[in-house]
Every structure is written in structure tokens, then in C-alpha cells.
Amino acid sequence: MILFLSRYPEKEEDFRDGLFQRVVHIDSLFSDKKKVYLVASPYRYFKKKYSIDKTENRIIVKYNLFVHFFLILSIYKESKIIYIHSIHNLLYQFIFLLFFSKKFILDLHGLVPEEFTLQRDFKREFIFNKVEKIVYEKFDVVIGVTNNMISHYKRKYPNSTSEYIVYPILPNNLETMSEEEILKSNTSDKVHFVYSGNMQTWQNIDLMLDIIKNISSNNKYFFQILTGEIDRMKNKFTDKQIKLDNVDIRGVSAEELSKYYKKAHYGFVLRDDISVNNVACPTKLVEYMNYGIVPIVLSNQIGDFDKLLFEYLPITQDLKQIESRKSVTNIKIIRNLYLDSSESQYHIQKLY
């Protein structure tokens, strides 16, 4: 049996979340194994909750940390492997790792303490750093989404004997562009820019709109904004006094994204040059590059992509007179990522 320390997505919006997409994907690698997803809280689930999916060999349990303490112990005892999705899921359960000698696998997902530092939440930064340090020596395998993430943890815990595996979070619904589609896009009369995402602070929406305002007078340019926050985005354009003559703002389903990505030549990925971005593998960037889109970046230090020599445009470059083109280089980088990923996938499956 594999014990997963994580929620399993149960609502439709959960399945659009990058963390839960990873959870679902890892689950699929062990489809023939019995799997238990355990959520434990000291404040909730005084009445235990569970659901069983016999087809998928999956049980989801939600227990109170104190009321069901011995039930939790029994689950740990029965498990062959304990797979932890992010340090987040150890907050109330790290103590159980000290009781058992099992095969412990940590899937990092991100730099949890460092993320709290950026949010100036120093209390949680302190807590999660302590939790991480207490249990890190227990991990037999540590999985990271980029080589940069693995390097970060090797520096942070130089005495660790963990085995490290690089396994990026890659979408499973991307299409392959044909040569005809690439040629058609390259010969387009319009230069298509795309932004796909919402309005979180770290997306640097104000900066993106300043860039659009500066270059939108070129009548060959068209800006496609794909967002779940349509009204907020439209209001933002209005506040910035940007005309919508060559701008389209809409929400689309995940299945519809490829239609817009195939037309696009340039895409906005305005991440700051900070540690959490330096080790990341953003799904949006993978999607853009898969369709030959050239990212417009604030910093090129995003995950391993600079080392992989991806094609990009810095915001410092003059963007007023660029031509329509797809990047074959970026398409090849993503194809190679998928090939490397298949090797790591096999390695992870053999851990059982």
C-alpha cells in the first residue's frame, strides 16, 4: 500500500490547480497499487470522513489528529511507501515519520519556507523550516521539478543521503504542431501576443499592461488575453486607458487553449528574479513553448530553461517592430523534456 500525504482533488476547480494536477498524475503511475490519501487536522474531522474508489484502488480518509491518532498510526504501519506531496502536508503529521522506518518520498512541488518569506509570513516560514529540517534526513527519495530545485536542496542539506529525481510537472493534454501549422503562423499578417492566466500579484499584470499600452499602436499587433477574471481584467485595461481595438479578453476551457496558442507568436511570462521562480517549471511556460511561442520575460532565470537555451525576448528589448514567428527551438526543448520525463517516470514507478 502507498500512503499519500495529500488531499486528492474532489472538486472541478481542484483539477485546474497545478499542485493537484501533479497529485493526479503521480496517482496514475501507481494505478494497480492500493493507495490511501490521508488528511489529518487537529481542528477538523472529529467525525472521520472517507471515500472509496474501488476502480482506481483509491481510498481518501480525513481524520482528526487526536481523536483518530491510533487509526492514523495503523495506516502508517500498513504502508510500504509514504509519498509526501509538498512540505505543506507534513505540518500536522511530521511526528509520524519519526516513529517508522519506511520508504519516505518527498515531492517538493516548490520552496515552501522561501514562499512564506516572500509573503512576509515569517511565522510560517520559521515553522516550515523547522519541520523540513527535523524530517529531511528521513527522506529516501526527493523529487523536484527542475535541476535548479534539486541543486537548491543539495546546498541546503549537504549531508543528506537522499536519492534525487528530476521530474517536471508537464501537462498531458498538449498537441503537437505540424509543420504546416508552424508555417501558417509564421506567415500571418498579424503578430499575435497572448497572456493566459489570472491576476495574482506575482503575474505582474500592471507591468504587462504598461508594455501593451506602449506597443499597441502598431496595427499589426493583436493581444489575446485568456483569463478566468474577465471583468477585473477589462477594468484594469480601462484604468490604464488602453483601447480594446486590437485586444480580446475572454475565458476559455483548458481544451480550447491550443486553438489560441497555435496562433500566438509571443507570450507574457513576467516572473521576478527570485528563488521560487529560479527553481520553478511553470505550466504556462511549458504550454507556450510547446506551441512555439517566444516568451516575453522580466527575468530569464526561470527553472532550467535558460540552461536549455530557450528563446525569449526580454522586456528591455524594443518590442514595437517585431515580426510574426514561431520558435522551433522552444518546441524541441519541450519535446526533449517529455522524453527525459518518461525516464524519470519509469524510475519513480520502480520505487514501489
Could you give the C-alpha distances from 109 to 28, 87, 112, 161, 251, in angstroms and in order? 17, 9, 8, 20, 27
140 plus 250 within the same structural domain: no
CATH number where 302 lies = 3.40.50.2000
pLDDT at 187: 86
278 plus 246 within the same structural domain: yes
Residue 115, H or E segment: helix 112-118
pLDDT tens across 192-233, in order? 999 999 999 999 999 999 999 999 999 999 999 999 999 999
Domain annotation covers residue 352: no
Domain annotation covers residue 344: no
* Count of structural domains within the chain: 2
Domain boundary among 108, 142, 167: 167
Domain boundary among 167, 191, 220: 167
pLDDT at 158: 96
53 plus 192 within the same structural domain: no
Note the pTM of the prediction, 2 decimals: 0.89
pLDDT at 309: 97
131 plus 160 within the same structural domain: yes
155 plus 19 within the same structural domain: yes
Domain annotation covers residue 203: yes
pLDDT at 15: 72
pLDDT at 161: 95
Domain annotation covers residue 343: no
Domain boundary among 139, 167, 195: 167
Domain annotation covers residue 99: yes
105 plus 189 within the same structural domain: no
99 plus 191 within the same structural domain: no
Burial degree of 173 (CB within 10 A; 0-12, 13-18, 19+): exposed
pLDDT at 10: 83
pLDDT at 16: 67
24 plus 140 within the same structural domain: yes
Could you give the C-alpha distances from 329 to 77, 308, 309, in angstroms and in order? 49, 10, 8
160 plus 197 within the same structural domain: no
133 plus 53 within the same structural domain: yes
Low-confidence ranges of the chain (pLDDT < 70): 14, 16
The answer for residues whose C-beta is within 8 angstroms of residue 48's C-beta and 6 or more apart is: 61, 62, 63, 64, 67, 68, 71
Write out the residue range of the structural domain in which residue 77 sits.
2-167
Alpha-carbon distance of 247 to 210, in angstroms, equals 14
Residue-wise burial string across 51-67, b where 16 or more C-beta atoms lie within 10 A, e elsewhere? eeeeeebbbbbbbbbee
Domain annotation covers residue 340: no
pLDDT at 27: 95
pLDDT tens across 128-186, in order? 999 999 999 999 999 999 999 999 999 999 999 999 999 997 887 789 888 888 988 88
319 plus 192 within the same structural domain: yes
198 plus 91 within the same structural domain: no
Domain annotation covers residue 350: no
Domain annotation covers residue 348: no
